[in-house]
């Protein structure tokens, strides 16, 4: 009887959280089965590397329109379009599709690897870049043991703007190369001189973050050049600079104009920000209907903040008819994209069977993901599940661990759980749970401190 009373009291305090999200800040679909590159992909690559770009574009476009599970044509078409500095919204979609279809590792490029190797050795910079990326992402073996960085350097040395920009990014971030900002600036400058809009934006950011005010004017000139190429990332950055008044006079109206331009060119982040502004009437006329349109447009492009917000709206019935099943779908999509708060909500809905079939195992999986990032509510819920044996056998020591961890993370409800499980355990078990919680708390705090 006491156990039932405890569970009910505790669950009343562990409510479904729908935090109010402020102004948004800066999908991975489940990968389809990856097939080997078909003959048409090989045909397109040979046409492209042989100088017949239009033919290659037609082949790759046809394959991508058919929603082929082969990731290669999406990647190839994205590079091809980037060479022309056109249709950046389409380029982003292609890269997202490539990412969704690519396994975490494997041999997705195996069938066309001989073609890439053949043309890379002949000096084809596009083949060198494709090969470098495929190997670096773990999607292809290294032919003859050649390191992917060598192919990237060869393409950059050959004057290929995309490779120069990519190598510059590695020098800027210090990822896999010793950090060298001066070298990054030089490479970005070379790529920008060839009208690579992404390089213009990267170089502008370096100048804006630098200590030399003389370069700020150059930074804005670069962003305006990137804007003329319709790069939504540059337009979004200009919007944020005007919104916050960084190096320019604060101008909310002008910021909204830049957000709209970026959104029209496919920026899901700009769409999400416009949605939030329309919903709250900040800088624009309040319009829940327009907000919903922008949220949905951003969600279609895999913007996790928009997916989460749609989940909130459909769960609460704000601006729309309440639909908990649809809310669950939105939360689940946001969770799959790494939205930490959505992890908790998906777990809770699975646990309670609200908007979806009750599934304790799914609830446990999502609660654990949230709990290990420091979500104290998720930690308490796991403690409750282990204490009550919800979906799996009762385990008081495991429950004690989660309650101890939640208490360390600042959740006062955890003490109620500890008071319940403590009489069920001997001192050794309680000590093991406490020490384990302390180790995990230190690890989480260390990971948080290491985040940039």
- Evaluate if residue 134 carries a pLDDT over 70: yes
pLDDT for res 141: 65
Q: Which of these, 98, 86, 28, 17, lies nearest to 53 by C-alpha position?
A: 86
Q: Which run of H or of E encompasses 396? A: helix 396-408
* CB 75, CB 130: distance < 8 Å: yes
- Cβ partners under 8 Å of residue 115, min gap 6: 42, 45, 46, 49, 127
pLDDT for res 36: 42
- Evaluate if residue 147 carries a pLDDT over 80: no
pLDDT for res 22: 33
- Per-residue pLDDT tens digits for 201-245: 999 999 999 888 889 999 999 999 999 999 999 999 999 999 999
- Cβ partners under 8 Å of residue 9, min gap 6: 416
- CB count in 10 Å sphere of residue 66: 11
- Evaluate if residue 154 carries a pLDDT over 70: yes
Confidence of residue 140 (pLDDT cuts 50, 70, 90): low
* CB 337, CB 365: distance < 8 Å: no
What DSSP line would sit under 210-227, residue for residue?
SS-THHHHHHHHHHHHHH
Read off the pLDDT of each residue in 406-435 and give the average, rounded to a whole number. Answer: 96
- Evaluate if residue 25 carries a pLDDT over 50: no
Read off the pLDDT of each residue in 56-75 and give the average, rounded to a whole number. Answer: 93
Least confidently predicted of 64-68, 99-103, 187-191, 374-378: 99-103
**Burial class, 349, CB count within 10 angstroms (exposed 0-12 / middle 13-18 / buried 19+):** buried
* CB 301, CB 271: distance < 8 Å: yes
Confidence of residue 184 (pLDDT cuts 50, 70, 90): very high
Rounded-to-integer distance, Cα 175 and Cα 129, Å = 17
In which residue are the tokens 């002008």 written? 254
- Evaluate if residue 329 carries a pLDDT over 80: yes
- Per-residue pLDDT tens digits for 110-122: 888 899 999 999 9
In which residue are the tokens 């470098």 written? 132
Domains of the chain: 27-158 (1.25.40), 372-452 (no CATH)
Q: What are the φ and ψ backbone dihedral angles of 165, each rounded to 5 degrees?
A: -65, -45
Rounded-to-integer distance, Cα 227 and Cα 200, Å = 10
Tell me the percentage of the chain whose pLDDT exceeds 70: 89
Q: Which residue has the higher pLDDT, 203 or 302?
A: 203
- Per-residue pLDDT tens digits for 382-401: 999 999 999 989 999 999 99
Q: Which of these, 109, 181, 193, lies nearest to 151 by C-alpha position?
A: 109
Residues 227-231: contacts with CB under 8 Å, at least 24 apart:
227/261, 229/85, 229/88, 229/195, 229/197, 229/200, 230/88, 230/265, 231/88, 231/197, 231/198, 231/200, 231/201, 231/265
In which residue are the tokens 């001189």 written? 193
């Amino acid at each position: 009887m006491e156990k039932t009373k405890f569970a009910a009291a505790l669950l009343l305090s562990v409510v479904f959280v729908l935090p109010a999200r402020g102004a948004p800040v800066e999908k991975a679909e489940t990968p389809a089965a990856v097939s080997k590159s078909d003959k048409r992909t090989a045909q397109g690559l040979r046409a492209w590397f042989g100088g017949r770009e239009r033919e290659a574009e037609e082949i790759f476009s046809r394959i991508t329109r058919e929603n082929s599970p082969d990731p290669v044509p999406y990647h190839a078409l994205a590079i091809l379009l980037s060479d022309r500095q056109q249709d950046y919204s389409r380029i982003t979609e292609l890269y997202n599709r490539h990412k969704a279809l690519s396994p975490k590792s494997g041999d997705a490029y195996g069938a066309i690897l001989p073609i890439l190797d053949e043309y890379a050795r002949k000096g084809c910079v596009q083949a060198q870049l494709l090969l470098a990326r495929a190997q670096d992402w773990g999607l292809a073996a290294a032919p003859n043991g050649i390191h992917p960085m060598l192919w990237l350097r060869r393409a950059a040395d050959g004057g290929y703007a995309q490779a120069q920009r990519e190598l510059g990014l590695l020098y800027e971030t210090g990822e896999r190369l010793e950090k060298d900002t001066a070298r990054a600036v030089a490479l970005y400058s070379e790529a920008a001189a060839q009208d690579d809009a992404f390089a213009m934006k990267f170089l502008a950011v370096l100048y804006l973050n630098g200590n030399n005010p003389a370069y700020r004017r150059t930074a804005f000139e670069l962003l305006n050049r990137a804007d003329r190429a319709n790069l939504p990332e540059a337009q979004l950055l200009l919007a944020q600079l005007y919104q916050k008044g960084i190096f320019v006079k604060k101008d909310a109206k002008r910021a909204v104009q830049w957000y709209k331009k970026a959104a029209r060119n496919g920026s899901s982040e700009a769409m999400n920000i416009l949605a939030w502004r329309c919903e709250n009437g900040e800088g624009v006329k309040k319009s829940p209907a327009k907000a919903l349109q922008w949220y949905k447009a951003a969600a279609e492009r895999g913007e996790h903040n928009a997916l989460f917000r749609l989940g909130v709206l459909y769960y609460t019935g704000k601006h729309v008819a309440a639909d908990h099943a649809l809310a669950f779908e939105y939360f689940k999509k946001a969770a799959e994209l790494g939205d930490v708060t959505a992890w908790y909500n998906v777990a809770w809905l699975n646990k309670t069977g609200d908007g979806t079939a009750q599934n304790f195992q799914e609830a446990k999986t999502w609660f654990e993901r949230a709990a290990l990032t420091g979500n104290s509510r998720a930690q308490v819920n796991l403690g409750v599940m282990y204490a009550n044996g919800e979906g799996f056998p009762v385990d008081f020591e495991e429950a004690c661990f989660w309650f101890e961890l939640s208490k360390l993370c600042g959740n006062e409800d955890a003490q109620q759980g500890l008071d319940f499980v403590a009489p069920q355990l001997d001192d050794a078990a309680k000590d093991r749970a406490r020490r384990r919680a302390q180790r995990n708390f230190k690890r989480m705090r260390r990971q948080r401190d290491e985040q940039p």
